[in-house]
Chains A and B, each alone.
Chain A
C-alpha cells in the first residue's frame, strides 16, 4: 500500500527566502505526482504535475522534481512571499495524499 509522507509538517520562513518542501512515497511504481496548494477552508489548487517519465517541472517561482528510485519529490519555492503562505500537499496518482506542509512566510 502506497504511503506518502511530507516533512516538515510546518515551516516558517522570512519573506524572500528560497525553500524546499519534501514528499516521500514508498512504492516507486507511480503514474504521476502532483503538488497542490490549499488555503484554509478552501479547495486544492494544482501547482505542478510531474509524469513518471519526467524528472522536473517548473512554473514561475516553483520547481518540482521527481526521483522515483529514491521515492522522493521536492517542491522548490524561490523568493518566497507572504502570499505563498498555505498548506502544500503532494499526491501520488489520484489516490494517495500526503498530510501537507503548512508554510508561513513572514513579511
Chain B
C-alpha cells in the first residue's frame, strides 16, 4: 500500500530560526514528490517538485532534498518568518496508472515572534 509519513506532526520555532521537516514514503513505482504549503483555511499551494534524478531543489528560503534510495525527503526552511506558519504536506505520485497522488498528514509549523 502506498503511504507517506511525515514528522514531526507539529513544530514550534522562533522567528529567524531554521527548521527541517521530514517525509518518508513507500509509493512505488516512484515518479515525483511535491511539498505543499497550506495556510489555515486555504487550499494547498505547491512549493517544489522533485523527480527521481533530483537530489535538491530550492524555492527562496525553502530547500527540498530527496533520497530516492532510502525513500526520504526533507524540507528545510531557512530564517523562518511569521508567514511560514502553516501546514506543510508531502505528496508523492507513482508512475503509471491514474497518477492519483498520495498525501501525507502534514507537519503543522508555528513560528513565534
A, B in one complex = no
